[in-house]
Copies of this chain bind each other. A is one copy, B any other.
Amino acid sequence: MASKSSKSSPRPKTRDRILQTALALFNEEGEAEVSTVEIAAVLDISPGNLYYHFKGKDAIIEGLFDDFEEEIRQVLTAPIAKPLAVEDNWIYLYIIFEEIHDFRFFYNALPTLLDRCPSLQPRFRRLMALKQDVAKAILISLQKAGVLAISQTGVDLLAERIALQITYWIQYCSLKDPNRKEAALIHEGVFSILSQLTPWLGEDGIAYATLLEEFYESRNA
């Protein structure tokens, strides 16, 4: 693993503050619009002090990716280690969407940032593969539990579509309606993903359908 654990070596405080401020500015204004000079100005530190911690914007992006990778990897690997209960699937999707929303500047400019920071390419590609593996693991556990009646090819195709939808849902909805609030769009994303399983519901799928209905109604609660 290329990523360093932030727990093993406590970071200097300034380094943390730079990352937090950069993340907020990148998410708000788009990474392309924010310079290191601006980040230093918001933090009220000198550009030299910032440069001592990060040798340019790409180093900040890599630092933020380290954090993102560590957090999302922990979330993603959970259901591979221990299958989720059916009723936990929606909470799980929520957490993934929130993680992506926290680092949305990265998802908003994926091809550009990966071109500029080639060291992140294989790492991001591993996360994409992991996302698809997790979707597959969840579908297979639902299949084994009799909730889904679906073929092996069906599982593969569906896992790929779910991984794609997780990757781009927030960007897609924000482009459609820039005023849509985070909570609403994540809720709709979870519902859209879970509801596509309904046509495959098998003999033991009634509990799932009830769950989904309750979830849909909680939208308007």
Q: Chain A interface (Cβ within 8 Å of chain B)?
A: 30, 32-33, 108-112, 114-116, 124-125, 128-129, 150, 154, 157-158, 160-161, 164-165, 167-169, 171-172, 174-176, 192, 195-196, 198-200
Contact = CB atoms under 8 A, between A and B. Distances in A.
A30 to B, nearest CB: 5
A-B complex: 10 closest residue pairs judged by Cβ atoms:
A199-B199, A108-B111, A168-B168, A164-B172, A32-B112, A30-B115, A199-B200, A109-B112, A157-B195, A30-B112
B176 A172 contact: no
Contacts of A154: 198-199
A161 B171 contact: no
A13 B198 CA distance: 55
13 contacts: A30-B111, A32-B32, A108-B111, A109-B112, A114-B175, A128-B172, A150-B199, A157-B192, A157-B195, A164-B169, A168-B172, A196-B196, A199-B199
A175 B30 contact: no
B175 A125 contact: yes
A171 B115 CA distance: 13
Contacts of A195: 157
Contacts of A110: 108, 171, 175
Nearest to A178: B121
A182 to B, nearest CB: 15
A193 to B, nearest CB: 9
Nearest to A176: B128
Contacts of A30: 111-112, 115
A192 B158 CA distance: 8
Contacts of A165: 161, 164-165
B108 A175 contact: no
